[in-house]
Structure 1
Amino acid sequence: MYEVQQMSRATTFGSRELAREPAEPAGRRSADWFSLVAVSPAIIILVAFLFLFFYGVYQSLTNLRFGVPVMHFVGLRNYALLIQSADFWNNLRVTLTYAFACVSLEAVIGLAIARLFASEVLLARVLRPMVLLPLVLPPMSVALMWTTMMNPQAGILNYLLSLMGLGPFAWISSESSALASVVLIDVWTFTPFFTLIIFAGLQGITDDIREAARINGAKAWSIFYRIELPLVAPYILVAALFRLIESLTQFDIIFGTTQGGPGDSTAALSVQAYITAFQDMNFGRGAALMVVNWLVVLASAMLLAKLWRAVRRRVS
């Protein structure tokens, strides 16, 4: 009994001492310096990127070029000259054609390969370890490799065509086939990206769903079209969003193979901006091309993101 009374007194005394201590105001709490130090490198990098971006936008509003000692503000003159140029509209056409052709083909082929990987056939087990090989290669190395393979005289691709009795193909040496050739290179390189993401989506579909559809009389094609495809559609659109952003700004593959030629058949906005800025030494005009390229990327990404949200709501 005595011990219980002593414990009660100690508890009461401790409660009174805690009540006497004033609560620390919320505004005067000590800052979490460790967290601030941990995130400070990311903040510095973000601020540096934003500064470089807005400085590039400012350059697009000037007449900055090699040989001009003083830079003057010219407003929207560079953009007006671009709009009036037929070359600019060709650059925009090439950029959009390249990007949407690459993303569409990669989505279809990636879906087919992912569906193959989701099966238990022997070919799927053989191909699974090799699917990542194109992705681990640097894009410039891929461009140089395919340039050698597509050589009209000594390339292995024309040699393989000759074995089938087909004549030599110009590949990247002709204006009519150069754009299709660089699209082929991009599809070979980045289709595994789609394959991995779609395969992950297919793995999330349980066998119970497929079995219920089979019990109701659904065939294999109907299960794929009515069940699997709608469920993996958000995964396809996520992969398409990332690949669309990268394809609209693609530089390495195009410049490494054709440098925008022959003529201007593969002169995408990013390649033309590099040529204008660092070969023609017109930095203001080159910056304007990059800003336009950024606006095209932003608009395309926003449209695809809205489509993803609509599909996501419908599936869920």
Structure 2
Amino acid sequence: MLSYRHAFHAGNFADVLKHSVLTLVLEYMTRKDKGFYYIDSHAGAGMYQLTDPYAQKTGEYKAGIAKLIAKQDAPAALQTYIKLVAQLNQQALADKADITVYPGSPGIARHFTRRQDSAHMFELHPSDIGYLTEFCQRWNKAHVKQADGYQGVLSLLPPPSRRGVVLIDPPYELKEDYLKAVRTIVSGYKKFATGTYILWYPVVKRELVEQMQAAFMASELRNVLQVEYCQQADTLTYGMTGTGLFIVNPPWQLKAQLTEILPYLTTTLGSTASQHTLTQLIEE
């Protein structure tokens, strides 16, 4: 499980969907003065250097975030996310060069958290925990632990302010992660039913996604939105053809924002084989 390195995939189409949604959720949370918890179960390195061998080996960011920045015609719902990444690459873009850094989910959260908010991040990988710790050194109210993220999430619920965003973003190297991630949210919901939970998943085998859907629908959860963007049709061969999110208690306007985002991503990052879906999996 500890072999996975997100640096190979930073800024790809899956990150674009996940992080644009995370940006919208965190932006919504800051509209109230009352503080909130940001909890990240599999936080990764925090910030990724796109010039390093990992990112350059695959170059996935070139078909993801780099395309969005170059196009400059994104809908309003994507603008905050794109501007955040562009700001981190201000010099490179001024020089008309390739972008050089990409924020992971902690990098997105750092942009939005205020003095009254706190961030709690878990990571097991022996290399990434070092990078994450260094990234968070000057971030007040950031807490980093090299620990199991599933248990870490549950240990922090409910947050004292009763306001919180939980991101669960496992590597899915183990098949058990698909249902384990859902069960963690179901357990968390019993402790903190008003929190917003974001669960990312890859589309590798459709039956695994269907198992997650069934587990959510068999639970007592309410108000679950499912969003999916697939660059290719499902296939029986190995490989990720798409990406998706289950969002519990989404901000009220998120569904409308996704109706702008998804067609744009499908057109800009995809091909004629690409498709997207937006489903209210469980009603409020």
Indicate the TM-score class for this superposition, using the shorter chain for normalisation.
under 0.3
Structure possessing the higher radius of gyration over alpha carbons: 1
TM-score, structure 1 as length reference: 0.20
More strand by proportion, 1 or 2?
A: 2
TM-score, structure 2 as length reference: 0.21
Higher relative contact order, structure no. (Cα contacts within 8 Å, ≥ 6 residues apart): 1
More helix by proportion, 1 or 2?
A: 1
